[in-house]
Structure 1
Amino acid sequence: MKKIICKPETHPLTWRLRNDKKPVWIDEYCNKNGYLGAKKAFKNMKPNEIISLIKESGLKGRGGAGFPTGLKWSLMPQDESMSPRYLICNADEMEPGTYKDRLLMEQNPHQLIEGMLIAAFALRTYRGYIFLRCEYIEAAANLRRAIIEANRANFLGKNIFDSDFNFELIIHTGAGRYICGEETALINSLEGRRANPRAKPPFPANVGVWGKPTCINNVETISNLPAILLNGIKWYKSVSKSEDAGTKIMGFSGRVNNPGLWELPFGITALEILEDYAGGMQDGLRLKAWQPGGASTDFLIDKHLNLPMEFSSISKAGSRLGTALAMAVDNKINMISLLLNIEEFFARESCGWCTPCREGLPWSVKILRDMEKKQGRLGDIEILQQICYELGSGKTFCAHAPGAIEPLQSAIKYFREEFEAGIALKIFSNIKPITGIQSYIPNMN
């Protein structure tokens, strides 16, 4: 296994982290170039120049969607009379198998605070919220202490860096719902409402929290800002092996020898991460499948391991880079049982707002339960495929259901024989296979 030597020029997100895993507090953070990026922004740049810099840097959202950050910022109204306006950090990290934001918040909270300060100055927002997953108790405590330290140092509060800019930062712990990862559901929850997604348009950039312009970015995305401001665009693009700029916290979980996460350049292959950093599969096991970035991404198989970990390559292979924390599935795992566990989670976390998601996900769970007990019926695989179609992109109110069925549709594609093995052929030998299932599934178009 490779030993990572973290340096400022190659590991902008993690080089400050301590070997003993204790938090980096303000004195140590400032001794390691902390708040210099924010100071440069305040002293030498105008808000629109910062937005242009981030757009040119190629920074993409690290929450899973990969939307260009600078473009997202540019959608905020430029008319300063449209105030107040808000900045929200999405720290509701509930994607199964993902814990990268937790690392950054627990061990280096000031990096996130500096990134929030830079974004707030660029977007001219005077109040920011960190919407935090409620189970992240240690992260909440560390962030609160860091905010107090930053206020005392005049990095937050009034007249920051002797300017006329004021910025207040607040921690808001969520109620523990996966759907709050969707930005408009997060906004509803922050306002004290039920965490249902909102119709778009209008988009949060124009009508967000309390009807005001709002920008929402992920923890890892915001944590990139200090290094970009301090070191520039050319450097940021140079640390990548891909057209996707910068580095990404990537990892592998599952029955590998060294599960974990590491800051790595875009373009490194999944095989390199699995073998050189995660130490390969445990003795007696071989890789059966893997998910590139969380439970809501399509399964890939061993032939895809040589793909570079970047947005376009993983997309062309039929999956998504997502959070880039991969899960290895070994040959001892039954795919039906694994899918049942995944779909039970997504069915439980559905907000119930739209019919396809509310009814379709529990239906898939019922069928998978029968298949796990070898009591599936002829035609069940086709019904599952139809559910995947009806819950696909653009057919539901938000992206929850399309993400939920991605692992299911890919598992059927690569491991159909395991689904067939869950059908009780002896019991239903006299039943003809279903060729058209429109009579079983209502038209939801």
Structure 2
Amino acid sequence: MSLTPVLTSYWDEPQSWTMDTYRRHDGYRALSKALRLQPDEVIATVKDSGLRGRGGAGFPTGMKWGFIPQGPGPDGTTKPHYLVVNADESEPGTCKDMPLMLATPHALVEGVIIAAYAIRAAQAFIYVRGEVLPVLRRLQVAVAEAYAAGYLGHDILGSGYDLDLIVHAGAGAYICGEETALLDSLEGRRGQPRLRPPFPAVAGLYACPTVVNNVESIASVPAIVLNGVDWFRTMGSERSPGFTLYSLSGHVTRPGQYEAPLGVTLRELLGHAGGVRAGHTLKFWTPGGSSTPLFTGEHLDVPLDYENVAAAGSMLGTKALQIFDDTTCVVRAVLRWTEFYAHESCGKCTPCREGTYWLVQLLERIESGQGTGADLDTLLDVADNINGKSFCALGDGAASPIFSSLKYFREEYEQHLRGGCPFDPARSTAWATADTAIAERGGAR
């Protein structure tokens, strides 16, 4: 399957981020077209395209827009509507939204204006991680250019539509990637997930109807509006149409962003990326970032769309394909991910706050060779007490790599119990010596 550069079609041009470059590539033409339509017609176009959220769960974007209530509420008042772009990309392995905003920020800005017009919002926000200063500054410049050109502000392109767009810097918390925690942070409170219902579409930012979308989801909208539903559906599959960004990182010859139709396989993407690094073979990989269940070499030909990845036992998520070769200790990799989730737990709910702490303690003991067989059962039991029982999906994300790694690599965990990590030269020597001694006695490990 060939690549389909749409969002990435001119990332390699000098100054790809400027207004002039964007306009040379049909920039803001989709906005002019959208403003000639009724807001509901724009929503219908996005619904018909089948665009699904590119931030994790894959929820249909147009359907989410359609949930926004129109007209007066039960109390007779009409609340303002808000659009919030979730640019708090921070999961290990996920690295598509930041380069998109760095290379082509105007694609996001144009998408924001179209989406805000569709849901009848007069104010929009882009919530960006505060650590990524180059991205933050580039977005701020792009927004200023859009104001100067008349694409933002009062009476946009003479349509009578007004929109203000604010770029907001977060304070650096993984939990703020969860949409309701993001809204609390945006309101100036500590970022913690909210109880739902009510959902953001009814009571989101400032208790008003709000749409929260991922960067790539919104940046894909201008191309759909400009080129049409039929064009978009020529790519991907029936239930997962269109193009998307796959982020290849880790032990791959040419890591980077690969824009391809949904349904491409890892084998095909590795063909474009030069394969696993020379002299090594694929051991395991993540289809959607560290919070998704692991895949192995037997999954190389699974179509990377929402349905097929789920059927194979994982989630497409953010399409962050982390590649690990045969030199990698799976226990150590899972430990590092679990340490991240324990550190980033907001502490609101007991299963996640306590469970991630105990997962780290157990994994540290196992990885260092001090564990026992009972620790593996305890590890699964603790993960099971987090999975599906935490306040938000962070607990599920922490449990996923543990379940899947034990499913595919239980023998490697047991090797650690018998003599430490077989991938650590110092420990593997001790392990081999102990193994030889047992064999000489006629025993078995």
> When the two structures are superposed, what TM-score results if normalisation uses the length of structure 2?
0.91
Matched, 1:201 2:193: no
2:284 and 2:296 in contact (8 A); partners too: yes
2:248 and 2:258 in contact (8 A); partners too: no
1:64 and 1:323 in contact (8 A); partners too: yes
What residue number does 2:350 align with?
355
Using the alignment, how far apart are the partners of 1:214 and 1:241 within structure 2?
Answer: 29
Pairing partner for 1:182 from 178, 181, 196: 178
Pairing partner for 1:372 from 367, 370, 383: 367
Using the alignment, how far apart are the partners of 1:206 and 1:259 within structure 2?
Answer: 41
What residue number does 1:49 align with?
41
Using the alignment, how far apart are the partners of 1:330 and 1:157 within structure 2?
Answer: 51
Matched, 1:85 2:78: no
2:101 and 2:139 in contact (8 A); partners too: yes
Using the alignment, how far apart are the partners of 2:252 and 2:100 within structure 1?
Answer: 23
Matched, 1:332 2:327: yes
Using the alignment, how far apart are the partners of 2:187 and 2:42 within structure 1?
Answer: 29
Using the alignment, how far apart are the partners of 1:222 and 1:262 within structure 2?
Answer: 18
Shift of 1:425: 8.5
SS at match of 2:269: helix
1:23 and 1:109 in contact (8 A); partners too: no
Shift of 1:149: 0.8
SS at match of 2:141: helix
> How many pairs does the alignment contain?
416
Shift of 1:187: 0.4
Shift of 1:28: 2.0
Deviations 1:106-159 (A, max 9, x none): 111111000000001000101111000112111111111111111011000000
Deviations 1:194-234 (A, max 9, x none): 11100000001111111111110000000011011111110
Alignment of 1:191-230 (within 5 A): 191-230=187-226
Pairing partner for 1:240 from 236, 239, 260: 236
What residue number does 2:25 align with?
32
Deviations 1:261-312 (A, max 9, x none): 11111111111112x1221111221111111111111101101110111011
Shift of 1:241: 4.9
2:95 and 2:247 in contact (8 A); partners too: no
SS at match of 1:421: helix
Pairing partner for 2:52 from 60, 73, 83: 60
Deviations 1:47-88 (A, max 9, x none): 111111111110000001100101111111111652322110
Q: Percent identity?
A: 44
Pairing partner for 1:97 from 72, 87, 93: 93
Using the alignment, how far apart are the partners of 2:25 and 2:292 within structure 1?
Answer: 37
Note the residue ranges of structure 2 that are not aligned, 5 or more in a row: 421-445
What residue number does 2:414 align with?
420
1:336 and 1:368 in contact (8 A); partners too: yes
SS at match of 1:206: helix
Pairing partner for 2:126 from 130, 155, 161: 130
Shift of 1:17: 2.3
- How has the CA–CA distance of structure 1 residues 3 and 215 changed in structure 2, closer, same or farther, with 3 Å as cutoff? closer
Using the alignment, how far apart are the partners of 2:374 and 2:199 within structure 1?
Answer: 41
- How has the CA–CA distance of structure 1 residues 206 and 241 changed in structure 2, closer, same or farther, with 3 Å as cutoff? closer
Shift of 1:386: 1.0
Using the alignment, how far apart are the partners of 1:85 and 1:158 within structure 2?
Answer: 17
Alignment of 1:115-154 (within 5 A): 115-154=111-150
SS at match of 2:34: helix
SS at match of 1:318: coil
Moved over 6 A (4+): none
What residue number does 2:392 align with?
398
Matched to 1:120, the amino acid is A
Shift of 1:424: 5.4
Pairing partner for 2:64 from 69, 72, 80: 72
Matched, 1:259 2:255: yes
Using the alignment, how far apart are the partners of 1:27 and 1:83 within structure 2?
Answer: 37
What residue number does 2:273 align with?
278
Using the alignment, how far apart are the partners of 1:418 and 1:230 within structure 2?
Answer: 52
Matched to 1:287, the amino acid is L
Shift of 1:242: 5.4
Using the alignment, how far apart are the partners of 1:334 and 1:14 within structure 2?
Answer: 34
Deviations 1:248-270 (A, max 9, x none): 10132111111111111111111
Using the alignment, how far apart are the partners of 1:217 and 1:134 within structure 2?
Answer: 18
Using the alignment, how far apart are the partners of 2:2 and 2:40 within structure 1?
Answer: 40
Matched to 1:104, the amino acid is L
Matched, 1:289 2:293: no
> When the two structures are superposed, what TM-score results if normalisation uses the length of structure 1?
0.91
Note the residue ranges of structure 1 that are not aligned, 5 or more in a row: 5-9, 427-445
Pairing partner for 1:161 from 152, 157, 164: 157
1:59 and 1:245 in contact (8 A); partners too: yes
Pairing partner for 1:11 from 5, 8, 22: 5
Shift of 1:406: 0.5
Matched to 1:416, the amino acid is R
SS at match of 1:78: coil
SS at match of 2:252: coil
